[in-house]
Chain A
């Protein structure tokens, strides 16, 4: 009996070792341990033996069965590992193939620059106001101390729309300054607003487009003076360009709606097509500003004896061109996707003061 067990066991162990796959291994298991397997059949024959021999043979058979089972388990594990290895090998890919395209979209430089400007000025307590593009002549000119015959009007190259009988001729706003009047008429001082938006002048050449963008600023309070205006603009310029000690030039100028009036230039240099802020001998005009004219305050329903303040108008397109070295204004409005993708911004690059204005 023992010899037969040993022979069966050794044959089965050999077969297990030789099994090439799970199915072959399973066949070995069935041949030895299945219902009609060789070990199973010997177990069934135990009843015919005498108790002494039966116990002995039973123990031997159980031991053989356990040996076989664990040999089968080990072999199965090994075969499975081999099968996985073969599968992984077969599943190998060419990792240098291009990934599926996810076309990134872009935010226009005018929008990005506007968000940057708002981020800075919001921190100084400005809120954002709005006004219409099609303006009443009075809001665009008259209320801003530019009556019909005023020579300054000629410089505005105004677009006109057909007048409605009995009403004043509508214009496309030539600047964002009419928002000053609209806001003052609807709100009481103290006032601290900016108003970004589209503006229009009948002018088209290398450096002018008939539409462009401005941000108006207006601060009205009891004791706001030109020192505040200069300080506000310097802090703004340094934050916007991310450069300390930008050379700035405050030039007296003239706007009918401010007195005193000043234009502000920043130092820059041109090299080929590129422009660098804060270096070199060149100056670039970026904004007009001044203390709000008493007549403008009065036209806005604000008592000029009790209140005073400053206003400024920044060219957004020009600021974006300067900061991001964009050479040609006309590209801004052409919607060439190459231009948009080159000069545009990723949507997640939201300008903030804490996370940085510039991506």
Chain B
């Protein structure tokens, strides 16, 4: 909502400066989003008379002008073809900032002639692109007058953000009322006395609603005008409309726009000779269509309120008028419509047709219904004052609702809700200034009548808010939250703690945390097991963001592709965030990605391409960090389809899948434009075993007094024998003695039989009761070799 200072002062008698008004608006909840004050920028520019304009001795196109300014006569070299003796121009002295060029003006010598200022064009003042000649002011303009004032550009424009509850402040009148209540001036009265009509309206009006739908338009007021002259509207009105961004059209149209902005009263004026009575309102017939004054055609449904005449539908009540029946320059007879339209129905109509208008904006927030008859009188005076002619008696259909909302309010709530003591007399006075009527109704009980223009009083706190906001939120003293429990306990749940640890563990492993969008392209969602209809956005912002992601991996791969495209090497990323498997099934995933090499090249060597075991290590590190017993994990080679089928796996605890890891499938890399190698892991918080609440006390530490013994074995096995199977065979032989088995070599090739794999392991025995003798170690080794043979078919490799 925009208004100008001069417009405001038509309703508010105040001596407050603009800055004070702006500060007050912010303080009472009418947020100022911007102030456009051209008079500040245009302050250096004054009216000046050109007393002589002689040709420049050294330049054909230039003239040397003597200019009479408020201070002195000044010599100016000017190139404008219209510079001539006797004209009034706009002068800027040296030192002035020229908004159109962004430069500060200096004394100069142009082809040997001194120039001590400038006669300005519109472009130099930033008013338009006009640069053919200098600005000419009316001949009677006094020398030294402020150009901004002469041109009517000295009226500052204030842009307000009006919250949706304050329909009443979508008008200059409403804003003035709030300011007056806040103490920056006095609200001026309006002349709303009934204007005596001089004839009966030749057009009748009617409301045609089935029972139960009369609320759509409870009242319709009309008035006929004749003898009108519909020329341009007067300058005072045009300037203000232009200042707030409205293009003046004709006086009658400008007047209806004015009423909308000035008193928040949308109105419509028909050319009475283009309509055939009666005029009225009814619900639309299904499929009825019309052409609106914005040039577009709209089709209605049976829920919308339309204005009709005998020829059919004319417009959408409360939203937009029709083309073809509005007033134009030739209009001499008019018919003014002032009607009440249901806020919900108006909002629904506008939304269905995607039609925003000043009228809709006000009707859907609620206008002052009780003010409709007064509005008719204000409008009548404006029309007659500007367009001449005479007015008929008012014709009315339906009735203006007169009942008022009355609320019970406890003045003690100012203290108990607001945390501030405001004397009851002051509180009551504030409400009075805002138009509320306060009546004492007992001990700590007020009966408060809400003004007809306020539709935002839903509950007692809303009324308390009015008192507090006008008194000032800044006045409320700060209080510290009570802390009844003393030192607080953990703020995070067990699951939240796990995420926090996982995040810092992964960052500690050299990955950069990314936050990527929760939605991805549908086609990509399908590649990762998603893309079901229920998770498609109805109104995505782009096709790249149309489906809720089933996995973090596509987002990380896309991020890797972006980084690679920017020439950034080996991005390593992780993300912790939501993934979606159905509307009800949202999970928290943790995923990481490594690409390219394990690090930059180094003079000492020691870097290599990333592989599945890097991703496995990341996954295990996360599982370890969140308390999973990683020594009991096993891996199976059955990861999802987006992995390389031979180089990926699932980490399991018993039968439960906890995480997947591995190389990304080359087809996926190709379709996402990622240069490989790329390895990833992903796990879901919800799939992890629940953290047990454990005592902080650690179990006893048991240290054996006896030396551990280490023995190396190399087994020849078939390629389908996994390391995990071999390890299980070994540990199964003597669980209490075997503390650790390390796989320290895996070898195929020369020296090894074709189709065999050599797996070398180091077994550590830890005796508890007595040192192991050589014989005992030999026996254990024999049992290991035998168990491996029996359970994997492997044989000890000949030394």
Contact = CB atoms under 8 A, between A and B. Distances in A.
Contacts of A29: none
A42 interface: no
Given A108-B514, A115-B500, A254 B165 contact: yes
B287 interface: no
Contact of A98 (B483, B537, B577, B603): B603
Contact of B473 (A118, A251, A295): A251
Contacts of B512: 105-106, 335, 337, 340-341, 344
A260 B165 CA distance: 12
A204 B541 contact: yes
Contacts of B364: 149, 151
Contact of A226 (B476, B483, B573): B476
Interface in B681-726: none
Contacts of B351: 154
B230 to A, nearest CB: 34
Given A134-B548, A254-B164, A260 B563 contact: no
A106 B513 CA distance: 6
B541 A210 contact: yes
Nearest to A102: B510
Interface on chain A toward B: helix, strand, loop, or mixed SS?
mixed
A118 to B, nearest CB: 6
A354 B456 CA distance: 46
B94 to A, nearest CB: 30
Contact of A259 (B461, B536, B537, B602): B461
A340 B513 CA distance: 7
Contacts of A97: 603
Given A210-B541, A219-B481, A253-B31, A128 B419 contact: no
Given A162-B533, A170-B583, A225-B479, A211 B518 contact: yes
Interface string A271-298: 0000000000000000000010111000
Given A105-B512, A227-B420, A252-B29, A259 B600 contact: no
Interface residues of B, number: 103
Contacts of B419: 225-228, 230
Interface string A228-252: 1011101100000000000001111
A122 B473 contact: no
A337 B563 contact: yes
A251 B533 contact: no
B26 interface: yes
A160 B514 contact: no
B393 interface: no
Given A108-B513, A160-B537, A210-B545, A226 B504 contact: no
B365 A198 contact: no
Interface residue tally on A, bucketed by range: 35 or more
A332 B516 CA distance: 8
Nearest to B601: A101
B28 interface: yes
A204 B540 CA distance: 11
A138 interface: no
B538 A200 contact: no
A337 B593 CA distance: 13
Interface stretch (A11-19, A83-91, A345-353): A345-353
B474 interface: yes
Given A219-B481, A333-B517, A253 B583 contact: no
B491 A122 contact: yes
A322 interface: no
Contact of A225 (B29, B344, B417, B514): B417
A103 B418 CA distance: 53
Interface stretch (B192-200, B243-251, B464-472, B642-650): B464-472
Contacts of A294: 459-461
Nearest to B346: A149
B485 to A, nearest CB: 6
Interface of B: 26-29, 31, 163-166, 343-344, 347-348, 351, 364-365, 415-420, 456, 458-462, 464-465, 468-469, 473-474, 476-485, 488-493, 496, 500, 503-519, 533-541, 545, 548, 555-556, 559, 562-563, 566, 568, 571-574, 576-578, 580, 583, 586, 599-600, 602-604, 606
12 contacts: A103-B510, A103-B572, A130-B496, A149-B343, A161-B583, A172-B537, A227-B419, A228-B479, A231-B479, A252-B28, A260-B465, A340-B514
Interface of A: 97-98, 100-108, 110-111, 115, 118, 121-128, 130, 132-134, 145, 149-152, 154-155, 159-162, 164, 170, 172, 190, 198, 200, 202, 204, 210-211, 219, 221, 223-228, 230-232, 234-235, 249-254, 256, 259-263, 291, 293-295, 308, 332-338, 340-341, 344, 346-348, 350
Given A227-B420, A227-B477, A335-B563, 4 more contacts: A98-B602, A118-B492, A124-B481, A160-B537
Closest 3 CB pairs of A and B: A227-B419, A252-B29, A260-B465
